[in-house]
Amino acid sequence: MSASFASALDAAREAAAAQHYPEGALYVVATPIGNLADITLRALHLLQLADTVACEDTRHTQSMLRAYGIDKGPARLLAVHQHNEAEAAQEVVRRLQQGQRVAYVSDAGTPGVSDPGARLVAAVHAAGLRAMPLPGASSITTALSAAGAVASDGDSSSFVFAGFLPSKSAERASAIARQLASEPRCVVLLEAPHRIGELAQALATLGDRPVTLARELTKQFEEITTQPAHALGAWLDGAPQRSRGEFVVLLHPVALAGDDAGDTLRVLRLLLAELPLKTAVRLAAEITGAPRNGLYDAALAWKRAQDGGEDGDTAEDDSATAR
Exposure letters 265-292 (e unless 16+ CB within 10 A, then b): bebbbebbeeeebeebbbebbeebebbb
pLDDT of residue 304: 64
Kindly state whether residues 176 and 92 are assigned to the same domain: no
pLDDT of residue 312: 40
- Is 303 within a domain? yes
Kindly state whether residues 170 and 235 are assigned to the same domain: yes
Last-in-domain residue among 137, 168, 196? 137
- Is 321 within a domain? no
pLDDT of residue 311: 45
pLDDT of residue 258: 41
Task: Print the domain residue range for 107.
Answer: 3-137
Kindly state whether residues 152 and 287 are assigned to the same domain: yes
pLDDT of residue 125: 98
Kindly state whether residues 48 and 120 are assigned to the same domain: yes
Say how many residues make up the chain.
323
Query: Residue 27 corresponds to which amino acid?
Result: Y
In this structure, what CATH number is given to the domain that contains residue 82?
A: 3.40.1010.10
Kindly state whether residues 62 and 148 are assigned to the same domain: no
Cβ pair 9, 68 in contact under 8 A = yes
Last-in-domain residue among 87, 109, 137? 137
- Is 81 within a domain? yes
Structurally, how many domains does the chain consist of? 2
pLDDT of residue 268: 85
Kindly state whether residues 154 and 288 are assigned to the same domain: yes
- Is 15 within a domain? yes
| pLDDT tens digit at each of 323 positions of the chain | 466 788 999 999 999 999 999 999 999 999 999 999 999 999 999 999 999 999 999 999 999 999 999 999 999 999 999 999 999 999 999 999 999 999 999 999 999 998 999 999 999 999 999 999 999 999 999 999 999 998 665 666 689 999 999 999 989 988 998 889 878 889 999 999 999 999 999 999 888 899 999 999 999 999 999 999 999 999 999 999 999 999 999 999 876 444 466 677 788 889 998 999 999 999 988 888 877 777 887 787 677 666 654 444 333 333 333 33
Kindly state whether residues 172 and 286 are assigned to the same domain: yes
- Is 323 within a domain? no
- Is 287 within a domain? yes
Kindly state whether residues 182 and 78 are assigned to the same domain: no
- Is 322 within a domain? no
Last-in-domain residue among 80, 103, 137? 137
Kindly state whether residues 157 and 303 are assigned to the same domain: yes
- Is 152 within a domain? yes
Kindly state whether residues 128 and 191 are assigned to the same domain: no
Kindly state whether residues 258 and 116 are assigned to the same domain: no
In this structure, what CATH number is given to the domain that contains residue 226?
A: 3.30.950.10
Kindly state whether residues 115 and 43 are assigned to the same domain: yes
